């Protein structure tokens, strides 16, 4: 069945940088805008997990993610440290331009990357919810989690407002996770 909002999902390339920054500017307040060099470096570090949705006017949504370890948090404005033997897909930035909101694009972008999980052996997906998006992430199967990495507290504190670490299990854990 054709999706009602005409778009295609594809990898982000360096030429998309301005369009991505336009979406970022429309979706975040100044205190949360991340620098062009950082965005570009993330693309180079994790090209296989940075994707965009494109409609007739161009890039209308994006998702920057990278293979990481459960419990680790990326500070605002930091680069992606892709983990060898990653167990988690960390979603760092998901944004949908105002013209494309509420059409299911955010869910489709997340599903698109999570489809790689069995082949990549990711056991979980994690993120920091900002801008009051916890209910949105709950709708996508994420639950509040306890980031246990030593730097996680400082990383969470780099976000303005009530930032919340959230986790979605992708496989049944051998040992129950007490915190999520």
| Nearest residue (CB) to ligand COA, 40 versus 163 | 163
Token look-up 């991505």 returns: 20
Q: In whole angstroms, how close is the CB of 42 to ligand COA at the nearest point? A: 15
CB-based closest residue to ligand COA:
106
Buried/exposed 98-112: b ≥16 CB within 10 Å, e otherwise:
eebeebebbebbbee
| Nearest residue (CB) to ligand COA, 74 versus 129 | 129
CB-based contacts of 111: which residues, under 8 Å, 6+ apart? none
Q: In whole angstroms, how close is the CB of 89 to ligand COA at the nearest point? A: 14
| Nearest residue (CB) to ligand COA, 86 versus 106 | 106
Q: In whole angstroms, how close is the CB of 131 to ligand COA at the nearest point? A: 4
| CA distance readout (Å), 25 to 37, 50, 53, 135 | 15, 18, 17, 23
Q: In whole angstroms, how close is the CB of 63 to ligand COA at the nearest point? A: 9
Looking at residue 15, the DSSP 8-state letter turns out to be G
Q: In whole angstroms, how close is the CB of 174 to ligand COA at the nearest point? A: 29
| Nearest residue (CB) to ligand COA, 70 versus 105 | 105
According to DSSP, the β-strands at 124-129 and 164-169 are antiparallel
Helix, strand, coil content of the chain in percent (nearest 5): 35, 25, 45
| CA distance readout (Å), 130 to 27, 29, 103 | 11, 11, 20
| Nearest residue (CB) to ligand COA, 58 versus 85 | 58
Looking at residue 77, the DSSP 8-state letter turns out to be T
Contacts with ligand COA, residue ranges (CB under 6 A)? 27, 94-96, 101-107, 129-131, 133, 135-136, 139
């Amino acid at each position: 069945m054709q999706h009602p909002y005409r778009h295609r999902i594809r990898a982000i390339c360096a030429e998309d940088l301005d369009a991505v920054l336009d979406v970022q500017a429309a979706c975040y307040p100044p205190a949360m805008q991340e620098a062009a060099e950082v965005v570009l470096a993330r693309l180079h570090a994790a090209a296989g997990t940075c994707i965009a949705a494109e409609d007739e006017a161009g890039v209308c949504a994006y998702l920057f993610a990278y293979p990481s370890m459960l419990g680790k948090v990326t500070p605002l404005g930091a680069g992606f440290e892709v983990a060898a033997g990653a167990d988690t897909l960390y979603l760092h930035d998901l944004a949908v331009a105002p013209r494309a909101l509420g059409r299911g694009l955010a869910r489709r972008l997340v599903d698109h990357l999570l489809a790689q999980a069995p082949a990549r052996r990711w056991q979980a997906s994690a993120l920091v919810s900002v801008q009051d998006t916890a209910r949105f992430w709950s709708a996508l199967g994420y639950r509040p989690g306890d980031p246990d990495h030593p730097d996680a507290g400082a990383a969470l504190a780099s976000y303005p407002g009530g930032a919340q670490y959230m986790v979605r299990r992708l496989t049944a854990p051998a040992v129950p996770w007490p915190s999520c």
